[in-house]
Amino acid sequence: MELFDLTGSKLKAYAMRCGALDGEAEDIVQECMLTVWRKAHQFNPKTASANTWLYTIVRNKRIDMARKTKYDVVMSDDLFPEPESDDLEVDVERDLNANIARTLLHGLPDEQRQIVYKVYFEGKSHSEIANELDLPLGTIKSRLRLAMKKLDTLAQEQMTWLIIILLTNF
């Protein structure tokens, strides 16, 4: 109960920054606390701080929840191995950057997103993708080039909005 009182609101806010809605964030925090209760014996303070462990559990629970509702979400264990440092700020920043990258990827048309995913997340070559999707190699390269241009444009738009928000708050 004390752990929840000390960390619950911060963990909920973090879950919401990772894309969870208010109710989902509350569920995620409760599941996190259950996981801590059941797996407390697995916690190793030599590998990470308790806060880092909690934030990692929340992040993975959020990804698992998203995975259940969306089929194109990357598995949390594939992208986010357990942290080896106890620098929470670095871990949180890494999570936020990953969230931004996912948001940008969802701005791509499906056929471009599929190519980007296969190249950068599955590590496949252009030829392998062409064979797998039964498309000409030139089509794969064109879609990837268009996707990279679109991602650049989307990232610039995101940055512009961030600057506007920051300037209006000062």
Dihedral sign (CA 9, 14, 16, 20): negative
Looking at 12-16, 65-69, 126-130, 157-161, which range is the least confident one? 157-161
Q: Enter the tokens of residue 79.
A: 């992208």
Helix (H, G, I), strand (E, B) or coil at 42: helix
Extract the tokens encoding 86: 């106890």
Average pLDDT, the chain: 79
pLDDT for 71 equals 47
CA dihedral 118, 124, 128, 130 (to 10 degrees): 30
pLDDT tens-digit readout, 3-59: 778 888 888 888 888 878 888 889 998 998 888 888 888 888 888 888 888 888 888
- Write the CA distances from 98 to 23, 34, 61, integer angstroms: 22, 26, 15
H or E element at residue 60? helix 50-69
What is the average pLDDT across 66-80? 56
- pLDDT of 73 reads 45
Retrieve residue 15's tokens: 């879950």
What pLDDT does residue 130 have?
93
